[in-house]
Amino acid sequence: MIIHQPEIVPAGSEVRMQARVETRAPNPGFPDSIWFSYPQAYAHALSTRADSPLAALVLVAMALGEDVECRGEASPRLIYNLSEYQRVFYHWQPQLLQKVGIHAENLTPPPANQFSAGYATTFSGGVNSFFTIQQMLTPSLKSPQWPLKYALFLQGSPDLPLAYQRKFEYLAERYATLAQELNLEWIPVRTNLMRFAANRIPFNLLLEAPLVGAALGISPILAGMVIPSGRMYERYKDAAAGPMTTYLVATESFEVITHGGAFTRFAKTQAISDWKPAQNNLRVCLDWHDDTDMNCCYCSKCLRTRMDLNVIGRLEKFTTLKSPFKFKDLILWGSQMEIGFRGEKDYLEYAWKQRKELLPGILLGILVGTPLRLARKYSPNWIKKSVFCVTDENDPENTFVQNPDIPENLAE
Q: What would the pLDDT profile of 335-379 be if each residue is shown by its tens digit?
A: 777 655 567 788 888 888 888 888 888 788 888 777 776 776 677
Q: What would the pLDDT profile of 42-62 be if each residue is shown by its tens digit?
A: 999 999 999 999 999 999 999
Label each residue of 290-345 as H, E or C: CCCCCCCCCCHHHHHHHHHHHHHCCHHHCCCCCCCCCHHHHHHHHHHCCCCCCHHH
Beta strands in 46-107 (DSSP E): 68-74, 102-107
Residue 270: per-residue pLDDT: 93
Q: Would you give the distance in Å from CA 81 to the centre of its chain?
A: 21
* pLDDT band, very low/low/confident/very high, at 277 (cuts 50, 70, 90): very high
Measured CA to CA in angstroms, residue 141 lies from 119, 146, 275, 288 at distances of: 17, 12, 14, 33
* pLDDT band, very low/low/confident/very high, at 213 (cuts 50, 70, 90): very high
Per cent of the chain over pLDDT 90 is 44
| 3-class secondary-structure state, position 23 | coil
C-alpha 247/C-alpha 187 separation (Å) is 22
Contact assessment for residue 274 and residue 268, using Cβ atoms and an 8 Å cutoff: no
Q: Which of 3-7, 229-233, 403-407 has the lowest mean pLDDT?
A: 403-407
| 3-class secondary-structure state, position 279 | helix
Residue 286: per-residue pLDDT: 75
Q: What would the pLDDT profile of 135-173 be if each residue is shown by its tens digit?
A: 888 766 655 556 889 999 999 887 788 888 888 888 999
- How many residues does this entry show for the chain? 412
Q: Which of 276, 290, 291, 326 is nearest to 306 (CA)?
A: 326
Question: DSSP assignment of 108-146, as one string?
Answer: -PPPPPPTT-EEEEE--SSHHHHHHHHHHHSTTT--TTS
C-alpha 347/C-alpha 363 separation (Å) is 10
C-alpha 90/C-alpha 87 separation (Å) is 5
Measured CA to CA in angstroms, residue 358 lies from 150, 154, 326, 330 at distances of: 40, 38, 12, 11
Residue 228 host element (H or E): strand 222-228
Contacts of 285 (CB under 8 A, 6+ apart): 293, 294, 295, 296, 297, 299, 301, 302
C-alpha 133/C-alpha 267 separation (Å) is 15
Q: Where are the alpha helices (DSSP H) in 16-75?
A: 51-64
Rounded to 5 degrees, φ, ψ at 119 are -105, 145
Q: Is the pLDDT of residue 233 over 70?
A: no
CB atoms within 10 A of CB 318: 22
Residue 131: per-residue pLDDT: 93
C-alpha 190/C-alpha 175 separation (Å) is 15
Rounded to 5 degrees, φ, ψ at 234 are -75, -5
C-alpha 259/C-alpha 241 separation (Å) is 10
Contact assessment for residue 59 and residue 92, using Cβ atoms and an 8 Å cutoff: no
CB atoms within 10 A of CB 260: 25
Residue 230: per-residue pLDDT: 72
Q: What is the pTM of this model?
A: 0.85
* pLDDT band, very low/low/confident/very high, at 405 (cuts 50, 70, 90): very low
Using the 8-state DSSP alphabet, how is residue 179 labeled?
Answer: H
* pLDDT band, very low/low/confident/very high, at 187 (cuts 50, 70, 90): very high
Q: Is the pLDDT of residue 287 over 50?
A: yes
Number of H helices, E strands in the chain: 13, 11
Q: Would you give the distance in Å from CA 329 to the centre of its chain?
A: 27
